[in-house]
Amino acid sequence: MWDNRRDAAMQLVDTVVRKGNSPVIIHDILTEADVLFARCRTLATGRYHTVRLDELNCKPVPLGYINMRDRCCYGSRIARRRWKAGLDRSNLWIVGNGARAGAYMCPTSNKRPLTACIQGVYPTLEECMQEVVTATRSKAFCRTLAVGAPRTPYGHNLALYYKGVKVSDHMDGKEVMLSKPYEYLSQIVQEYIDVV
């Protein structure tokens, strides 16, 4: 894919790509006998290692809801007129809950939530509903759908969110009534919940 170290470094250094299913941050591009290597760090563990560049999956990483300690937010890659191939601070966009774009790329932040999102690791719908009722504000159960409990003067009602937008004000067990403008989402939602 890349012919020389300079081009590869320009497109990949300080970005998140994958080695297998594991997200890694590339720190440097090295050459040895005309073979390109990447010095990278595993996002979840922080371990450094060197791998051949052709062993990395440089296609865009899959994004969606990112479950944090007491809430979730929706992460997506935005188009930038830049030359970066991987995910970096400038092309990660976060929707909801006051998080700012690029928050997961900072060296001091917890990278496990972003790792789980990229790998597609989510709790079940039942686990999410139980957590939202007892402790958290919102929790995602797949890349595109989350359960939240917006505070109202009348207490907490479970609500359904799709890509950061509230699409239902009422969830009862495994049944949901979608708001009028979002009824077109019924097929997507029906994979997980009964739509009434």
Task: Looking at the structure, tell me whether residues 131 and 180 fall in a common domain.
Answer: yes
Task: Looking at the structure, tell me whether residues 97 and 151 fall in a common domain.
Answer: no
What is the pLDDT at residue 133?
82
Task: Looking at the structure, tell me whether residues 131 and 188 fall in a common domain.
Answer: yes
The pTM of the full predicted model, rounded to 2 decimals, is 0.85
What is the pLDDT at residue 108?
45
Is 41 inside any structural domain?
yes
Is 50 inside any structural domain?
yes
The beta-strand segments (E) located in the chain are 16-19, 22-32, 35-42, 48-52, 65-67, 72-77, 92-95, 138-140, 145-148, 151-152, 155-156, 159-162, 165-168, 170-172, 175-177, 194-195
Task: Looking at the structure, tell me whether residues 72 and 29 fall in a common domain.
Answer: no
Task: Looking at the structure, tell me whether residues 136 and 185 fall in a common domain.
Answer: yes
What is the pLDDT at residue 65?
94
Task: Looking at the structure, tell me whether residues 45 and 76 fall in a common domain.
Answer: no
Is 60 inside any structural domain?
no
Residue where a domain terminates, one of 55, 73, 92: 55
**Long-range contacts of the stretch 92-98 (C-beta < 8 A, 24+):** 92/63, 94/66, 95/163, 95/164, 96/72, 96/138, 96/161, 96/164, 97/71, 97/72, 97/73, 97/137, 97/138
Task: Looking at the structure, tell me whether residues 138 and 163 fall in a common domain.
Answer: yes
Residues in the chain predicted with pLDDT less than 50, given as ranges, are 98, 106-108
Q: Which domain holds residue 162?
A: 125-195
Is 159 inside any structural domain?
yes
Alpha carbon of residue 178 to chain centroid: 24
Max CA separation in the chain (angstroms): 69
Total number of domains constituting the chain = 3
